[in-house]
Structures are given as structure tokens and as C-alpha cells.
Amino acid sequence: MLRGGRVSLWNGSVGRFPGLTAATRRAATAVRPLPCAPPRSRTIRPRQAVIGLGAALLLAYAASPFIWHWYGEPTPLVVAFALSSVAAMILAWRGVRALERQQLAAARLQRNELRLKRRNLLLQSTLENIGEGLSVFDGQGRLIAWNLRFCELLDLPANLAASATLHDILMHQATRGDFGGDDPEKEVAERLDLFYRDVPTTKERVMPLGRTLQIRRRAMPNGSVISIYSDITENKASERRLIEARSQAEAANRAKGDFLANMSHELRTPLNAIIGFSEVISNELFGPIANEKYLEYIKDIHSSGCLLLLIINDVLDMSKIEAGKLELAKEVVQIQNVISEAMRMVHEKARSREIELTAQLPDENVEIWADERSMKQIFLNLLSNAIKFSKEGGQIYVRVVADQPDIAVLEIEDQGIGMTEEEQERALQPFGQAKPVTTRNYGGTGLGLPITKGLVEAHGGTLTIDSRAGHGTLVRIVLPRERTGVKFGFL
């Protein structure tokens, strides 16, 4: 594109842009006329000379009657003069016309040569500034077009490319050891044979100095082959760094999973002992405790141990979900039974805060293909969160919608503190809390929602949250009902 916004050069791919018609492309070919030549000194043109000569001959011919009258009879000189004058005028006119045509053709040829030279200069300037190496070899192996970037990327001398053939360039590279073979002639012969047959193609080559080139080669309609050379050294280095970082992250994740798997036994064994013995003591199975303060401490130990066990189980479940090793024992599950049992387990907690639990369930049984323990954990996590973040005296609704044969929609709605969109995204991240003060005010590890989302997705379902700050939260779960709709035996 030249100054002023005019398109001077383009390739065939421009025609595929929407909105460009054939007329538009033809209009784009217009080139600004060359500036006029500077004025030259005034000379007598051939046309003016012929006009002057003709005028003189006509004057002489017009004077012939007077000469005839003077002498009283025509003379041979007058007749010859008249005939020669007419013939001279005709010949002179034809000569001038031929000369003018030659001059016009010469001027047109000169303008075309200047225009072609300017377009060639523009084309070469374009090739030099595309940032990629370019070479074009014709069907006889002659290098007919290239740019300096081509010589730079292949480490070729500029004077070699000016008059080299494909054989010369390949021999230069083979002799230098670019191809790694012991027989340069054999290497050159093989590559010459493949050069015109193996198109289109895209290859990568590592140069002796360590630079990595991507070579894209394709055939042209006239039998020539065009090659584009790109330096992808930095891209390859970035890919290696990404692969290394990914490998390190995967190794760290495996190490974390192995650590948690190994520590689960080490943590649960003493913790179960603490919980068991504290329960025995708090129930005074082997006799009463004289000091009531000791009995209060034992109950605190028991409740703290149970809470710690729940946290450990949540961490282990989260690690299994992230590692894709969560095992699901799927069977036909009646969703009403799971919801009723989960509501019964959190009923006391809701009653202590005067929160009313309302189940809106269909009359017919709704069956899904799922792991019952995981489904129970899903409802316990969601109901616990709803109770935790509801105001005292509020209401919580549990709904089941099964108006479609292949899916079941489950909803849990509360009238609690609600969340913004940013807080929702943060709450779905492992160990995330909707607000920084949530942990201090409500407690929790921030694993309930991420575990619930992972369990739902392990069943082939989806979990969405609809919430506004100060207006409560609606959690909607969509689960497949048919066995064929679930492809996951493991997450």
C-alpha cells in the first residue's frame, strides 16, 4: 500500500476477504501516472516543418498562372514544378505521420519501462520488509526471486544468491555440513529430487548455529516453487519451557497426591483413637468422672477430633478429584430418599438457628444413575452452606424437577447473604472463600463447593450458581437420569 491509501501490490488471498468484488480489485490496480518530463527547449517539430513547406509550395503553385499569363503559354518548368510539389507534400505528410507514430510508441514504451521499474522496486522493497525469508526457484532450478532475509537465515553469502542455482545453494550447505551426511553429492541429489515433488510441505530444520527454521514450501502455477523461511527459535524455546513447567506441575501434583494418600492413614489412625477414647470417657463407660470440668474437656476433644477428621476427609476428596482418581460405585438411586436423609442430618443445626427447611418434591419417585454416598455428600455440603450463610429465622427450599425423561434438576435456595459474580468464582476455587471475612465469621476450609462441583461433574452433570449480594443464593444441579447418559466410571 502506497502513501495516500492506494493498494499497489497484493496476492491471491486478498480476493477471499469479504466485501472485495472483482471491480474493487480492478480499481485497486490503478497506479498514479508518472510525473511529466521537464520542459525542453523549443524546437521546430516535423509537423510544423511540413506545414511550412506545403504553404511555400502552395504559394508557388498559386503563382504559376501569373507566370503562364506573362509568357502567354504554359512552360514545362511550371508543370513539372506543380507535379513535384504535390508529390513532395504527400511524401512529406506520410513521413511525418510515421515519425510521429514511432515517437509515440517510444514514449509509451519508456513510460511502461519506468512504471515496471517502479513496481519492481516496490515488490523488492515489500519482500525485504516482510520479516520472513523468501526464495523462488523456477522449473530449471534457477533462483529468480529472493530477499536478504533468505540469505541471512540460511547463512548464505549475498553474492552467491545473486547468480546461484538450487544445486549451488544445496551444495554450499552440504559442504558446510548442514545436512550431516558424509557424501555431499549424494545429499544434494536426494534433496534436488525431493524439492519439486515434496510440495506442499512444512518442515523444521535446526541450523548449525542452533537456530530453528520453519520452512513452508508450495508449488506455483508456472512450475516454480516458493519457499518461506521463518525463525521459530524463540517459539521452540517457549514450548520447551511450557512443557517443562507442565511436567514440573504434574510431578508436584503427583507428589501432593502421594503425600496425601500416605498421610491419610498416618493421620486417621491416631485421630480415630482420639475420637474413640474421648467418646468412651465422655460417656463414662467405665465409671463416673468426679470432676465435671474434665468431662467438659473430653467432650471438646471429641468434637474437635470429629471436625478435624471431616477436614482431612475433605482434603483427601479434593485431591482425588483433582487427580482424577475418584471412584464411583454407581447404582440406581432414588433422589427423594437421599434428600430426606440429608435434611434429617442437618435438621438439628437448622433448628438451633430457627431456620425452616422446606422440601418441594414430586409425588413419583425420581431415580438417577449415581453413587449414593457422593450424592449424599453433595446435599450435605449444599445444605450446610445454606444454613451457615442464612440469617436466623430464614427459609431454605429444596426442589426436584423431573419433567424431562433424561435429566433431573435439583435446586437448593436460601435467603442468606448472597454473593457477587466475583465472589462466586472465588468460592468455586479450592480453599477459596467468597469474602475474606467469611472464614472468621462462619468458619470452614473453603472446600465444600469445589468438592460438590467435582462430584457433580464426575456424574456427568453441571452445577450453576445464581446469587446476588444480600438476596440469597440458588444452586442448581442438572444430573443425567439414564445409565447411558453417563460415561464416567472414574473421574
pLDDT tens track for 335-351: 889 999 888 888 888 88
Cell numbers representing residue 413 in the block = 435456595
Average pLDDT, the chain: 76
- Pick from 24-38, 62-76, 306-320 the range whose average pLDDT is largest: 306-320
The angle subtended at Cα 481 by Cα 476 and Cα 485, nearest 5°, is 105
pLDDT number for residue 244: 92
Over 70: is that where the pLDDT of 24 sits? Answer: no
270 pLDDT tier (thresholds 50, 70, 90): confident
381 pLDDT tier (thresholds 50, 70, 90): confident
Fold of the domain spanning 240-323: Helix Hairpins (1.10.287)
Question: Can you tell me the mean pLDDT for 120-132?
Answer: 76
Secondary structure (DSSP) of 396-419: EEEEEE--SSSEEEEEEEE-SS--
Question: Can you tell me the mean pLDDT for 317-324?
Answer: 72
CATH 1.10.287 occupies which residues in the chain?
A: 240-323
Q: Which residue has the higher pLDDT, 403 or 8?
A: 403
Q: Which residue has the higher pLDDT, 126 or 211?
A: 211
pLDDT in tens, 169-185: 888 888 888 887 678 88
pLDDT number for residue 250: 83
Fold of the domain spanning 133-231: Beta-Lactamase (3.30.450)
Helix axes 233-282, 292-323, angle to 10 degrees: 150
Percent of the chain's residues with pLDDT above 90? 6
For CA atoms 37, 43, 49, 52, give the dihedral sign. positive
pLDDT number for residue 241: 93
CATH 3.30.450.20 occupies which residues in the chain?
A: 133-231
The domain 330-480: what is its CATH number? 3.30.565.10
pLDDT in tens, 49-97: 555 555 555 555 555 555 555 545 555 555 666 666 667 777 777 777 7
